[in-house]
Amino acid sequence: MSGLVRGAAAIVGAAESDLGHVADGLNPIDLMAQGIARALADCGLALRDVDGLFCATTQARTSGLSLAEYLGISPAYIDTTILGGASFEFHVAHAAAALQQGLCTVAVVAYGSTQRSVGRRQASVREVNPYETPFRPFLPSTAYALAAARHMHQFGTTREQLAAVAVAARQWALLNPAAWEKQPLSVADVLAARMVSYPFTVRDICLVTDGGGAIVMTLADRARNLKKPPVYVLGCGSAITHANISSMPDLTVTGALEAGRQAYAAAGLGPAEIDVLELYDAFTINTILFLEDLGFCPKGEGGRFVAGGRIAPGGALPVNTNGGGLSYCHPGMYGLFLLIEAVRQLRGECGARQVANAATAMAHGNGGVLSSQATVILGTAATV
């Protein structure tokens, strides 16, 4: 996304819908609409202002149609790119481009899922792959477990180091009133939990919740006149390396390497200048892989890097400050929540989990089985 002008677009509104286990009968479009209403209220814009619509869900084949009809709008610009959980980081880059080109003036990015209420099998229909299905991979867990096994083999990463990621996420979640998990978690708890696909127990794996939300984006000049301080889009990057795990070139190197490179170049920043990280933690190995590929530690060192509370509250590097997909919320495609938390951290709205003086934040989305990677670097007015 080298054509994007640094700081030209901003996120001006952000909100979650109801989370966790939502009321019976609510559907994903209800949750998108609820998120949009709250995100518009957050910035003081109205539904009639919205002329750019970006959304994705696994539960509606043509969610752009459903959502536009529900909202009663006919947007000038619609993008329903769906590339797994990272879809919303792709949407931010696409929305920034559309705003910059004048294709729309107020863009909304929305998500909704009721996978906990209706069941995961119902919410996300599995596609048959004749080259993988006979071996009964429990997807996505089996695929990520293969990557974790490879990382352990090549770099000596341990199950205890993987568990440290889950423990840090839980500690952050305990500071977030909106988080699903409310009880402390230890490394021993993670290791002793029910095995799903070695080396992962159920505590190495993200939650299964309902949830949704929305963010609102405008160009910078309009953003400055709205209710809250704008959060500027400083840089975006993305990469796709495969769809199925058997086609991933190297299970220990993700497309985050390339996505991060693009985003850093656009933002004119490096890893040392990022104050808050929101990394898509569908599995404990994700956080380790992304810390490496995004340059926060050398390749292979991620396991040792996260041990000892470095990414937990009070540690040197704040990562997944809302509690992450592991302990806060994971309705199937978690990417939008990375952006919401990054925005709130940069506005200083995070209460007990607030990172002091946060001026820059990274939201890094992951989709499929480490398949799609998209990075968004955000900053306050002082960084533009």
121 scored as a contact of another protein (CB under 8 A): no
Residues in a beta bridge with 156 = none
Smallest CA-to-CA distance from 335 within 253, 204, 236, 243 is with 236
Query: Pairing relation of β-strands 52-56 and 77-79?
Result: parallel
Separation of CA 279 from chain center: 6
Tell me the two tokens of residue 235. 């840089």
Q: Which stretch binds another protein (CB under 8 A): 80-88, 128-136, 181-189, 280-288?
A: 128-136
CB 95 within 8 Å of CB 101? no
Do residues 296 and 306 lie in contact, with contact meaning Cβ atoms separated by under 8 Å? no
Give the binding range for another protein (CB under 8 A) out of 11-19, 108-116, 147-155, 266-274: 147-155
Nearest residue to 16 via CA among 178, 239, 218: 178
Our finding on whether 134 is near another protein (CB under 8 A) is yes
Q: Which residue(s) pair with 277 in the sheet?
A: 319, 362
The two structure tokens encoding residue 23: 């009321």
SS3 239: strand
Hey, which residues between 191 and 220 contact another protein (CB under 8 A)? Answer: 194-199
Return the number of the residue (137 or 211) whose C-beta is nearest another protein.
137
Q: Is 299 in the site for another protein (CB under 8 A)?
A: no
Strand pairing class (211-219; 106-113): antiparallel
* Min dist. Cβ of residue 129 to another protein (A): 9
Contact range with another protein by CB under 8 A, out of 41-49, 133-141, 366-374, 375-383: 133-141
Q: Looking at residue 375, what DSSP letter applies?
A: E
Residue with the two structure tokens 């994903």: 28
**Residue closer to another protein, measured from CB, 69 or 250:** 250
Binds another protein by CB under 8 A, chosen from 45, 145, 282, 338: 145
Q: Considering the rule CB under 8 A, would residue 65 count as an interface residue with another protein?
A: no
With CB under 8 A as the rule, give the number of residues binding another protein.
Answer: 28
Is there binding between residue 147 and another protein (CB under 8 A)? yes
Q: How far is the CB of 142 from another protein (least distance, A)?
A: 5
246 touches another protein by CB under 8 A: yes
Q: Is 371 in the site for another protein (CB under 8 A)?
A: no
Beta partners for 9? 219
Site for another protein contains 137 (CB under 8 A): yes
Residue with tokens 């190495």: 204
Binds another protein by CB under 8 A, chosen from 149, 178, 191, 381: 149
| Of 220 and 370, CB closest to another protein | 370
Q: Which residues bind another protein (CB under 8 A)?
A: 130-132, 134-138, 141-142, 145-150, 153, 194-199, 244-247, 251
